[in-house]
């Protein structure tokens, strides 16, 4: 899953301690989260491409919708008050937790929808991802699985798609924050580069550890534990 569900709740109290207003802090946290995904997703997308884990027939149509949606989602998020954006983020995290708990087996015989529908779904996913500052994998993988794509290729295609979401969303927040006067130093638009650099550097070392733990834990336990974690995060953001 995109790291935004962890990055954003961690950044908010840090920004509050730095004196940022609640409105600005939420926008900077969401924007900086998307910027970190650009770096962390690039290597994953390249690896999946070399391994052949990309559904080529769907990727261009999906990417087209994701780029438009994520750029637009960043503009929408920038226009929404910070408190409202926190409610949207917290609600999305709680819905994601519910989906993880209730996820079942995909019925056999599903096929990839027509390209216009794939692009439309990509635009919707991109808009949500751009607004809440996460990679689109939490929504792209279930969609591709629903369309009959095997899980390995669904994850690989999602990784490549996430790169488009992150780049377009980051550019969207740079444009949207160009006229903001209350941003901290070392910012470009709503992107706060010290946060992006610190999180990206730490992720390079810690992400492999998370992957190893995930491969050793039972899938059902991992899913339930992470769903419980998402509930805590969602409620904390809503209460904060």
| 44, two tokens | 């994953």
Mean pLDDT of 167-175: 92
Residue in the structure block whose two tokens are 């779904």 = 121
Rg (CA), the chain: 17
Whether the CA torsion 148, 151, 157, 159 is positive or negative: it is positive
φ and ψ at 57, to 5 degrees? -70, -25
> What's the rounded Cα separation, in Å, for the pair 114 and 65?
13
> What's the rounded Cα separation, in Å, for the pair 26 and 12?
7
Residue in the structure block whose two tokens are 């939490």 = 138
For 90-136, the pLDDT digits (tens) are: 898 898 888 878 766 666 667 778 888 989 999 999 999 888 887 77
pTM: 0.83
Give pLDDT, residue 109.
66
In a 13 Å sphere around the CA of 118, the CA atoms on its Cβ side amount to 20
For 192-212, the pLDDT digits (tens) are: 999 999 998 888 777 767 767
Mean pLDDT of 30-45: 84
């Amino acid at each position: 899953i995109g790291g935004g569900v962890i990055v954003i709740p961690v950044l908010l109290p840090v920004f509050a301690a730095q004196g940022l207003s609640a409105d600005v802090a939420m926008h900077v946290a969401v924007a900086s989260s998307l910027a970190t995904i650009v770096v962390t997703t690039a290597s994953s997308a390249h690896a999946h491409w070399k391994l052949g884990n990309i559904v080529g027939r769907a990727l261009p149509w999906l990417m087209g919708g994701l780029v438009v949606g994520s750029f637009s989602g960043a503009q929408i998020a920038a226009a929404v008050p910070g408190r409202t954006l926190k409610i949207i983020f917290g609600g999305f995290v709680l819905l994601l937790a519910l989906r993880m708990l209730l996820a079942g087996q995909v019925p056999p015989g599903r096929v990839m929808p027509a390209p216009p529908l794939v692009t439309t779904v990509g635009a919707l996913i991109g808009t949500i991802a751009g607004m809440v500052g996460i990679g689109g994998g939490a929504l792209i993988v279930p969609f591709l699985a629903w369309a009959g794509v095997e899980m390995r290729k669904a994850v690989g295609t999602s990784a490549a798609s996430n790169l488009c979401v992150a780049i377009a969303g980051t550019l969207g927040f740079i444009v949207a924050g160009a006229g903001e006067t209350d941003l901290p130093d070392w910012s470009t638009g709503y992107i706060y580069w010290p946060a992006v650099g610190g999180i990206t550097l730490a992720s390079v070392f810690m992400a492999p550890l998370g992957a190893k733990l995930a491969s050793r834990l039972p899938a059902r336990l991992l899913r339930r534990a992470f769903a419980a974690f998402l509930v805590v995060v969602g409620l904390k953001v809503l209460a904060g």
